[in-house]
Amino acid sequence: MTYHGTAASGFILHTTQDQGLFGFAALAGDASGLLQTNTVTAIQGFGVTPNTPNGGDAYVYDAVQGEFVPSGVQQGVATHALLDSTVHTDTVTQAPTRGSIIIGNVTPAWDELVLGTVEFVLFSDGTDAVYTRLGAVTPFSLGTSAAPSMTFTGDLNTGISAGVADELVGSAAGSGLMTLDGGNLRTQWVGGQVYHVSAGGSRTLTGADNIVLVTVAGATVTLPAAPFIGQLYQIKDRDGVTNGGGNEITIAGNGNTIDGNTDIEITNNYGSFTVLFNGTEWNVL
């Protein structure tokens, strides 16, 4: 076969059966340029970025750019930060900070949770992981039964949880073990108390009351309905307001007897009673 014409530098002479020789000046398709200076411009029809790759890069397809781009994925070579939203579309761009952890945020996307304040703890609020001080937003201040708990496994097997707001309550075989109230007014132990003093008129006593000074004539002081063994109260007419004639101060058992009586009365000025719950009824000491 004979080619008639002038072949320029880089031409390829190509034959198709008996059609003669044809000359092609440049490559086409996924490659371009002359034979001796060709460039790969596409892979399977998808473009290849002209950006210069770094050592260890491999070409990967970027769906956002719609072309193949160099990326440091070969042999574990890293060319981007862990939290890089450009590379990871489900990530918030963050620089590492000592003590931080990675969490899923509200987006949701991977994000950095910076280390909490000294003495704060990592706590679940039911939706997110947050740092908080115990007693701030945890169930210890809310008084729920879902509060963090502790268990003694020695002679006493006692669960401890927040029974009421700002109160840490424990029990051992039905007896009060320890109570720390939110106002730091007292600590209760089986067999003893650190007393808290209160004054006023009629009221129903709680675990926060110990020494009760009555200042109103005719007042009724009602003992708690569900006392623990060893619970003790001292109740006194502080100001001499009990002078007979209906001014007696009544101490009501509230479902529990007091030395066999439903209630007892302070009938003398400056009089007082000390009562202790023995597990069955109150005893006057």
The count of other CB atoms within 10 Å of the CB of residue 41 is: 16
d(CA 157, CA 149): 13
Type of residue at 47: G
Distance of CA 157 to the CA centre of its chain: 27
What the chain holds in terms of domains, given with CATH numbers, is 12-74 (no CATH), 185-284 (2.60.120.640)
**Which range, of 21-25, 103-107, 164-168, averages the lowest pLDDT?**
164-168
d(CA 3, CA 17): 14
d(CA 235, CA 205): 11
Q: What is the pLDDT of residues 113-144, one digit of tens each?
A: 999 888 788 888 889 988 876 654 444 443 34
CB within 8 A of 157, min separation 6: which ones?
A: 151, 172
Average pLDDT in the chain: 74
d(CA 132, CA 119): 9
Global pTM exceeds 0.85: no
- Cis peptide leading into residue 108 (ω within 30°): yes
- Confidence class for position 277, pLDDT limits 50, 70, 90: very high
- pLDDT confidence of residue 162: 44
- pLDDT confidence of residue 20: 55
Taking alpha carbons only, the member of 273, 275, 251 closest to residue 262 is 251
